[in-house]
Amino acid sequence: MEENKKHNAQSDVNVNENTKNEQLEHFREDPKDQYMTTDQGVRISHTDDSLKAGSRGPTLMEDFHFREKMTHLDHESIPERVVHARGSGAHGYFQPYDDTLKEFTKAKFLTNPNTRTPVFVRFSTVVGSRGSADTVRDVRGFAAKFYTEEGNYDLVGNNIPVFFIQDANKFADLVHSIKPDPDNEMPQASAAHDTFWDFISLMPESMHMIMWVLSDRAIPRSFRMMDGFGVHTFRLINEAGKASFVKFHWRSTLGAHSLVWDEAQKLGGKDPDWLRRDLWNAIDMGDYPEFELCVQIVPEEDEFKYDFDLLDATKIIPEELVPLRPVGKMVLNRNPDNFFAETEQVAFHPGNLVPGIDVTNDPLLQGRLFSYLDTQLNRFNSSNFTEVPINRPVCPVHNHHGAGFMRQTVNKGKVNYWPNSLGGGEPKMASESEGGYVHYMEKIDGHKIRARSESFNDHYSQATLFWNSMTEPEKKHIVQAAHFELGKVESKEIRVRMLGHFSKISNEFAERVAKGIGVDIPKNFDQKSTGNYEDNEASKQMKKGKSVKTSDRVSMEKNKIETAKSRQVAILLEDGFKYDEVMQVKRALMEAGARVKFVSKFHGKRKATNGDEIETDKSHITTASIMYDALYIPDGKESNEAMLNEGDAIHFINEAFKHGKAIATSGNGIYLLQKAVVLGVDFADKEGTKIVTSKGVVTAGNEARAMDFVASFIDAIKKHRHWDREEKTMVPA
């Protein structure tokens, strides 16, 4: 009887499990041999383009497929942002240089040099979650909120001037492909996996953006040392109602500088907060980040003057064709008081506009105008997120919105509608002359169609321009990045497709990539079979417009700003160093704007040869060479002999050398460098008067002039990296 009871009980369990499994199977979806549908089961005929009024017209609100697709993406992550989840923010101000932009716009914050407009800026990575590392290879968000006297204006861009796709209807697909795989949630914050490159290999329009992502732009040294771009073409409107096309650029006054890939990976483990810590510390120490706002202005009558479409977000306007016009400067001078209340809750939207600035029919921008607001509704679970302090305008707010979660405004009176007579017709409408926002009266004439303008069909020319504009070290890094990214792709078919695209960009580039990823360049590659590409008459007509084959301005190396300001310098020492020399070097570095940290085996005080002591800032176990821009090793026989027997010190030196950083030493420090296997450089005679600078390594004899030695070291620091040390035979670490 007992056995029967046990058997029956087990049978009941099995029946229950089977019933449950059958119930669960109803929710499992297998796309094999199925048509794509909406959530209502309606079959989809086209999912690459949004519904527009003409192929170059604005996106229509009635596009239920686009809105459903974008709404799902916007609401996929609770509560963090789906993209740009990990960010850092800072307060500051923007001030125009003069009023010369009045010719093009009536936006007061851009034309009144006597006004400092408060700003809040949020820098971010795009792909990773809030818990990912700062230094991953990724696009960086660069979003600025201007609290103007006419209302809030948001310039929401990236540190790369173009984007992966041309139409917002593909944004959900892009994000899904680059995010961790849905079955195993791996890899985090990385593009180096099959699904991303599968998508990209089928999207020729992404090739220009891919070149930027593989470049050093995608691993910035600091948020303070990267440029920003509005990406899209916008409109400026002047007092007379005349419009001009405009692209917005942020230029860092420190210049655009990068990490090397080895550093970026190591920093992800040593200090995943590297970029946000750098930003916070710089502001805390008074090294305020500064960015110059520049614009490229194109008259409306020149809209079709170039060999690309101004509305295509995968294209730049080369500065050789339309030079940058400096407008003003932004200074970030205050850290947030509370990360959640400010940096996390700040809500941006490219549709937050002020009189004098308007949007265009760029189909990627048109989609963002819907997506950003929808995203905030999901994150805050209320339309009242504008009442959170960080999002509030500084000018008065009056409307008939009311109730709902998070409502803080106490509205007086019994009228909450328009028109009204009981409330005296207030709040009243503002005419254009009274500052009322009036949309630009663009004529729209086209069929309602789900298609892309034929003028968007050139997907390779600007990718080729980018490659041809690079220096050899930059090209080398792009190839190495491709080796890493595509080397992680298991599918041989995907790697072959990508080489086919690369061959359309540059045979040299494709051949160099092929050597590292185990496949050959395909013969007779047909890009038409990979995605939305058709080399038709309209795109051929565009190619007859103005163009350039190279653009030096896209190269970081060719536009390097040489400065030691805010650079981090490690001084490596142990007991027995020469105190006077150290203090003289430190003073000179600080006067040049650099920041100095003393590093030794252990925390505590280190005694000099004259008995003076220095308190160390970091120990080897709490820091690494990857956290500094340069290295100085002071003279002192006892100190240098001690470090010669420390593996961490030797590794510190070799790693700094490997990463191309400025290194300086004198006297007995020269012996340490030689023994630490620093290769392929010339050294000064440690007993002589000569100062030798060889590939970023500065050495001086005991009798050399100290100030000349420091000046040479500072000059080496200003160059950021010394790429001529990258040869394999010279890299011991």
- Give catalytic residues, as residue numbers: 84, 158
Q: Determine whether 585 is exposed, middle or buried from the number of CB atoms within 10 Å of its CB (0-12, 13-18, 19+).
A: buried
**Which tokens belong to 22?**
């059958």
Nearest to 335 by CA among 265, 395, 292, 288: 288
CA distance 317 to 303: 12
What's phi and psi for 436, nearest 5 deg? -70, 135
Q: Is 185 helix (H, G, I), strand (E, B) or coil?
A: coil
Strand partners, 297: 246
Q: Please say whether the beta carbons of 398 and 427 come within 8 A.
A: yes
User: Nearest Cα to 360, choosing from 31, 148, 6, 58?
Assistant: 58
Q: Which of 162, 198, 160 is closest to 178 using CA atoms?
A: 198
200, exposed or middle or buried, with CB in 10 Å at 0-12, 13-18, 19+?
buried
- Please, what is the Cα angle at 563 between 557 and 565, to 5 degrees? 135
- Closest listed residue to residue 610, CA positions, set 649, 582, 585, 586: 582
Query: What SS3 class is residue 184?
Result: coil
Contacts of 423 (CB under 8 A, 6+ apart): 413, 414, 415
Distance CA(691)–CA(700), nearest Å, equals: 4
| H/E segment holding residue 64 | helix 64-74
C-alpha 107/C-alpha 345 separation (Å) is 26
165 in Cβ contact with 203 (< 8 Å): yes
The phi, psi pair for 108, rounded to 5°, reads -65, -35
Residues 337, 338, 344, 346, CA torsion sign: negative
Contact 666, 634 (CB under 8 A): yes
Cα separation of 479 and 217, whole Å?
14
Radius of gyration (Cα) for the chain, nearest Å? Answer: 29
Beta strands in 301-455 (DSSP E): 325-334, 357-358, 448-450
CA angle 582, 584, 585 (to 5 degrees): 65
Q: How far apart are CA 683 and CA 694, in angstroms?
A: 8
Q: Which residues contact 44 (CB under 8 A, 6 or more apart)?
A: 35, 36, 37, 38, 65
Q: How many residues does the chain have?
A: 733
Query: Which residues 6+ apart lie within 8 Å of 263 measured at CB?
Result: 135, 626, 659
Helix (H) or strand (E) holding 214: helix 207-214
The secondary element (H helix, E strand) that includes residue 284 is helix 274-284
Cα(475)–Cα(212) distance, integer angstroms: 11
Is-contact 577 634, C-beta < 8 A?
Answer: yes
Q: How many CB atoms lie within 10 A of CB 567?
A: 26
Interacting residues of 27 by C-beta distance below 8 A, sequence separation 6+: none
